[in-house]
Amino acid sequence: MENQVETIVIGAGCAGLTAALQAHEIGKKVMILEKMPRIGGNSMRASSGMNATETDLQLKNGIIDSSEKFYNETFQAGGKMNDPQLLQYFTTHTNGAIEWLKQYDVDLGDLTTLGGMSLARTHRPTDTSPVGAYLVKKLAAAVENAGIEIRTDCKVTNLQQNATGFQLTVIQNEKQLHLECRKVILATGGFGASKELIKQYAPQYADFKTTNQEGATGDGLRLAQSLGAQLIQLNLVQIHPTVQQDNQHTYLIGETVRGEGAILVNNAGKRFVNELDTRKKVSNAIIAQPTGHAYLILDQKVFQRVKALGFYQSVGLVEQADTLAELASQINLDQQHLRETVTEWNAAVKKQNDAQFGRHTGMRTLDTAPFYAIHVAPAVHYTMGGIHIDKETHVLDENGNVIPGLFAAGEVAGGLHGNNRVGGNSIAETIVFGRQAGIQSSKD
């Protein structure tokens, strides 16, 4: 197949870009197809970081972590519904992923802690900027340097298998074309932007807004299913607890804002949950408040630890005041309650004992003006279910047999996260399993 594309990757988020680069490194001729006008997918919106264990950065910060601990915490957070083999592969390959990224000038030199983890495991850019856009930019530059062709505005409408590989029908700039290759990697993302599929599989969230980019409509699921793939756990849909949604656009307020010290209060100005419990628990706690929404409260110290906060402020999502009393009156909370809540929280941080809600990570006193508030409520964020794969990213059919030549990686695949994905595991998954798809698809 000289001069012909050996592998076609469908989807140009972090999983697709990684898979293509990895296969190219091994010497395969690869092409990437992306249905949207721009690359990046939902990866572009990932904010907080990339989880990894046993890394140099953790050790330099005195953090003694282990893949077993990572496994156990992720399994617990996922309601023990995670596929053990995928999880085992994942939790033992994140350090390798961090090392692999370094060759592409990726500098994840800062650490934070997200919900459901006992220590700082979330690696993020040294300047604390959002991880997703940063990684997409670096990976896209590497793809370009490698001479890998990316076609945008190119939607795969049909995928057929024949004796030598696959035939793809694509619509590119309104023209129908046919492409051929030996291997296909599906990296098309989840279905969090499809109202129809959310209504079908998680009707309880049918009226929720979404954090997803509009292309996340489950196309890869349909393509895989047309070749006999098994789809699993489609009813497991994650809502993200802190989404600003007062206007037409929804803005995900990254979990790292809480990881760096913000608290959540209800309309009475009181805390009501361990803010760094799992997303499932924090979202449910917000929904259980009489108003169904909450406020993130933070101070200047937290603000300086999360670059995205400057962006949230620039688009009008953040209330700011010189005192807590002023902040409370700006957002119509009881001044005394908010002051008492923050005083109690600061005392708990100093004692390192949150007797009320048992929070033990991301503890930082809120005592440095100005103070800030962001109004948040849960929104659809991530689809944990998807195409059934094995740990080599082969797509499996209804009987558990490998569909030869067909691979899937990233949010389009199901099973890794159980019933609740841990923040920071999605970006890690795109790199770990994107690489794995690139490697396994390169076997003859």
Contacts with ligand SIN, residue ranges (CB under 6 A): 46-48, 252, 254-256, 423-424, 426
Q: How far apart are CA 414 and CA 408, in angstroms?
A: 10
Strand partners, 210: 380
Which among 275, 270, 255 is positioned nearest to 361, based on CA atoms?
275
CB of 442 to ligand SIN, least distance (A): 28
Answer yes or no: are the C-beta atoms of 43 and 137 closer than 8 Å. no
For ligand SIN, the closer CB: 150 or 193? 193
Q: How far apart are CA 283 and CA 242, in angstroms?
A: 8
Strand partners, 50: 123
And the tokens for 304?
């300086």
Class of residue 312 by CB neighbours under 10 A (exposed 0-12, middle 13-18, buried 19+):
buried
CB of 223 to ligand SIN, least distance (A): 24
Residue nearest to ligand SIN (CB): 48
Q: How far apart are CA 183 and CA 150, in angstroms?
A: 16
And the tokens for 189?
């993302």
CB of 114 to ligand SIN, least distance (A): 7
Residues taking part in catalysis: 279
Which DSSP letter does residue 291 get? T
Which amino acid is it at 128? T
Question: Considering all CA atoms of the chain, what is the largest pairwise distance in Å, rounded to the nearest integer?
Answer: 73
For ligand SIN, the closer CB: 138 or 240? 240
For ligand SIN, the closer CB: 44 or 252? 252
For ligand SIN, the closer CB: 190 or 438? 190
Which among 30, 62, 31, 50 is positioned nearest to 429, based on CA atoms?
50
CB of 275 to ligand SIN, least distance (A): 12
CB of 18 to ligand SIN, least distance (A): 16
CB of 372 to ligand SIN, least distance (A): 17
And the tokens for 318?
């953040």
Q: How far apart are CA 130 and CA 254, in angstroms?
A: 8
For ligand SIN, the closer CB: 49 or 415? 49
Q: How far apart are CA 180 and CA 53, in angstroms?
A: 39
For ligand SIN, the closer CB: 237 or 252? 252
- Cα Rg for the chain, rounded, in angstroms? 22
Kindly give the residue spans of alpha helices, DSSP state H, lying in 315-420: 324-330, 335-351
For ligand SIN, the closer CB: 127 or 398? 127
Answer yes or no: are the C-beta atoms of 231 and 20 closer than 8 Å. no
CB of 92 to ligand SIN, least distance (A): 20
Interstrand relation of 413-414 and 386-388 (parallel, antiparallel or unpaired): parallel
Class of residue 320 by CB neighbours under 10 A (exposed 0-12, middle 13-18, buried 19+):
middle
For ligand SIN, the closer CB: 28 or 417? 417
CB of 134 to ligand SIN, least distance (A): 13
Kindly give the residue spans of alpha helices, DSSP state H, lying in 227-380: 256-259, 279-287, 300-305, 308-314, 324-330, 335-351
